[in-house]
Amino acid sequence: MKLKRTLATIMLAACTYAAVAQNAGTPANNKTFFVAKPGTLVSMLTEDEANSVTHLTLTGKLNAIDFKHLRDEFKNLKVLDISNASISTYAGKSGTYPDRFYIYPPNCVPAYAFCQQTSDSTFTGK
């Protein structure tokens, strides 16, 4: 009887350890958003939330405006998963291209999505 109780305790401890180990790989500031309309990602969270996100999964529809916000406002972003998102066409001055009207084609990550032009005309990456 003692042997069965000891084995049951060991099995329970092993299962608990396995469950904790699986949860340890998931960061606390992991966020997932569905973007229904291109260009609206910024309206889905506050500035503090954007600054705290390190792992972000986006689904739905994105455009160059969303990528500009990802570049400029998500200060601590380390991992971005857009594998289940589509990128829509955008034409205008509010995208990632520095202060110029630009036409961004569909299904392409926009130019300058992850770098910015500095005052001395060099580019710094994120």
Summarised one tens digit per residue, pLDDT across range 69-126 is 999 999 999 999 999 999 999 999 999 987 789 999 999 999 889 887 777 777 777 6
6 within domain boundaries: no
Structural domain count of the chain: 1
In whole angstroms, what is the distance from residue 36 CA to residue 71 CA? Answer: 20
What CATH number is associated with residue 63?
Answer: 3.80.10.10
Summarised one tens digit per residue, pLDDT across range 14-41 is 555 544 444 445 566 899 999 999 999 9
If we measure between CA atoms, which residue out of 39, 40, 35 comes closest to residue 81? 35
Whether the full predicted model's pTM is greater than 0.75, yes or no, is no
22 within domain boundaries: no
Give the type of residue at 13. A
Find where tokens 């569909």 sit. 106
76 within domain boundaries: yes
Q: For residue 18, give the H/E element and its range.
A: helix 2-24
In whole angstroms, what is the distance from residue 62 CA to residue 82 CA? Answer: 9
